[in-house]
Amino acid sequence: MLYKLNKLIARYFLRLLGKPVITGQENIPRTGPLIVVANHTSLMDGFLLAVYLPRRVTFLSAAYLFRLPVVGAFLRAMGAIPVQNGGSELAGMRAALWVLQEGGTLALFPEGRVGAGNKLGPFQTGWAYLSLKAGAPVVPIAIKGTEAVLPPGAVFPRRSKIYMQIASPWTLAKVQRPGQETMTALNMRLVSQMEQMLQ
């Protein structure tokens, strides 16, 4: 109930800021394990994914976000998994694998932090490891406009147009021990596709 309530509140909040334009929702598989990966230019991005993906989403989020007043409360209500460097990183990855093994949807931002506009930051390979380890499809998502709604450092959002493009899923075979070379190659492929989607 708490998840549904937070999703409903976030939906009305986003509509007040300007109804987002969403394309490609039909590309989201309705059942089975799934990883969605998106670019990250604003703290609004998580709200957007939670509201407009047609499945319940579990976020894999940086631990520091849980300390922020509104964002932290939202993440906890959504059952997000905190990840940070150190001992808790392994625990976070294990929890993420469990979500996928149970047929759930995992959402994460490979840049690991809020970036600047349509210029992508370096992508981490955690998403590739999880996808290969679980044999879960990957859906790339490009988000535009959220940095104008809530720029980094801003406290109050403003009205502006938001766009979210959902690409077709990648189907990756399950691998018992994903190699770094394979994960790096997948990362490069994802960056290339995301750059094209953001043009």
Domain map of the chain by residue range? Answer: 2-197
Instruction: Decide if 35 contacts 131 (C-beta within 8 A).
Output: yes
Q: How far apart are CA 51 and CA 18, in angstroms?
A: 14
pLDDT tens, position by position, 75-105: 888 889 988 754 457 888 999 999 999 999 9
pLDDT tens, position by position, 12-62: 888 888 889 999 999 999 999 999 999 999 989 999 999 999 999 999 988
Domain made up of 2-197: CATH architecture: 3-Layer(aba) Sandwich (3.40)
Q: The tokens of 119 are what?
A: 């210029």
Instruction: Decide if 106 contacts 36 (C-beta within 8 A).
Output: yes
> pTM (2 decimals)?
0.90
Q: The tokens of 132 are what?
A: 């290969």
β-sheet bridge partners, residue 26: none
